[in-house]
Amino acid sequence: DTAVSQTPKYLVTQMGNDKSIKCEQNLGHDTMYWYKQDSKKFLKIMFSYNNKELIINETVPNRFSPKSPDKAHLNLHINSLELGDSAVYFCATGDSLGVSGNTIYFGEGSWLTVV
Amino acid sequence: AQSVTQLGSHVSVSEGALVLLRCNYSSSVPPYLFWYVQYPNQGLQLLLKYTTGATLVKGINGFEAEFKKSETSFHLTKPSAHMSDAAEYFCAVSGNNDMRFGAGTRLTVKP
């Protein structure tokens, strides 16, 4: 039973399309994140949600919109996809936002390719 | 702001040799430090973490790391590399709201 599951794992789409990546966690954690990993493996945080409330919104184009319908889900919607959006997107969860030392648990990643 | 720097984007060792992956941190408060491993086409898996207490931390798969405040370092070691250790390794520091990662070090293990 996967703790943090993302769908789809692979996604190939054309420029200009709108796509969503879904994430679900069954760990009961309060906090969920989206990270982007580029082709050089660099990991950058995009968003952080705590109990469905947006906490962190890094410098990310507003074409990216996270949605948290409940504490167990954090979806990522991307409008008007661009070539530069090609990357691996990781959903992650952690408990007790605000408590340092918080371990973050990652999903398997969603490989997005924009052509 | 807290950050980590990983020295060496690529490390290559022979099977059975010592593995040493370097990480230095920058933090104005006592840091909470982590090492994660990423195997090809997979997510990140926690290897070990340092919060407080013992400065030598043991993790999974025979890895360990030592927190050295005087050197602002948290290097990852393993006495004897195995072929299955080939992966990308990330050092990270935890703040109140998120976790910040280093650029990663790719470990290659030669037969």
Note down pLDDT in tens along chain A; length 115 residues.
679 999 999 999 999 999 999 999 999 888 899 999 998 889 999 988 887 788 777 778 999 999 999 989 999 999 999 999 999 999 999 876 555 667 889 999 999 999 9
- Asked whether the beta carbons of A29 and A13 are under 8 A apart, the reply is no
Taking alpha carbons only, the member of A93, A92, A45, A49 closest to residue A69 is A49
- Average pLDDT of B84-94? 95
With CB atoms and an 8 Å threshold, state whether B42 touches A33. no
B95 at interface of A, judged by CB pairs closer than 8 A:
yes
At residue B31 the predicted structure's pLDDT band, cuts being 50, 70 and 90, is confident
**CA distances from residue A11 to A1, A18, A23, A83 in whole angstroms, order as listed:** 23, 12, 14, 13
Residue with tokens 């086409």: B41
**Cβ–Cβ < 8 Å for B49, B24:** no
Residue B87 identity (one-letter amino acid): A
CB of B47 closer than 8 Å to CB of B36? yes
What residues of chain B lie within 8 A of the CB of A32, using their CB?
none
Residue A2 C-alpha from the chain's centroid: 16
Are the Cβ atoms of B104 and A41 closer than 8 angstroms? yes
> Residue A6 has what pLDDT?
96
How far is it, in rounded angstroms, from Cα B75 to Cα B64? 8
DSSP symbol at A103: -
Which ranges of chain B does DSSP label H, i.e. alpha helix?
Answer: none
Region B60-67 average pLDDT: 96
Q: A42 and B90: CB-CB below 8 Å?
A: no
